[in-house]
Amino acid sequence: MVVFYYAEPVAPNFLTNESSTLANHFKNWGVLSAIIFSLILIKLVLVYVFSGLFKIMEVLPLQFFNFVRINFLAFCSISVGCLIIFFMDQDIWILHVHLLWFLVAFYVIWLLLIFLKLMPDNRFRLFHLFSYLCGSEIIPIIILIKTLY
């Protein structure tokens, strides 16, 4: 939430800031939490549909739970970055924009990791695996990048 708030010159600021009350901040936190939870559920359904479509249901737990783990690692790293920026006592919005690029880099690394984890399985053709990853990973990452920038 902090990254989106301070990266306003580049990223759209959808957080309301009409009054700086505690209730307003809790409302923003609740809305952002609901959006994140909805996106994770949509991701689970998307991966479930594509694994069923490509008949590789055994990939579903590996892909989704590794996705949750890499998101946890990315957001913990971004939180540490926000704390460092906070303790520097600087209001430099470009640092927060770099944290958003760091998130995009995490997703690209995640895409490469899942590709390398699924590639040694000999029952997948490279085109089959690439098509599956396009539908479940690459297109959502492109949508994320286009939304943020």
pLDDT for 11: 45
DSSP state of 134: I
Q: How many independent structural domains does the chain possess?
A: 1
Q: Burial level of 63, CB count in 10 A (0-12/13-18/19+)? A: buried
pLDDT for 2: 58
Determine contact, residues 1/86, Cβ cutoff 8 Å.
no
Q: Classify 21 in phi/psi space as left (phi over 0), alpha (psi -120 to 50) or beta.
A: beta
> For the whole model, what pTM was predicted?
0.68
pLDDT for 122: 59
Rounded-to-integer distance, Cα 120 and Cα 130, Å: 13
For each of the chain's 149 residues, which pLDDT tens digit applies? 555 555 555 444 555 455 577 787 788 778 878 888 898 899 889 889 988 888 888 888 888 888 888 888 888 888 888 788 777 776 676 777 777 788 888 888 888 888 888 888 757 678 888 888 888 888 888 887 777 66
Rounded-to-integer distance, Cα 33 and Cα 129, Å: 32
Residue holding tokens 């809790």?
A: 26
Domain that holds residue 115: 2-148
C-alpha to C-alpha distances, 84 to 76, 87, 95, 99, nearest whole angstrom: 12, 5, 10, 12
pLDDT for 148: 65
pLDDT for 10: 46
Rounded-to-integer distance, Cα 46 and Cα 138, Å: 12
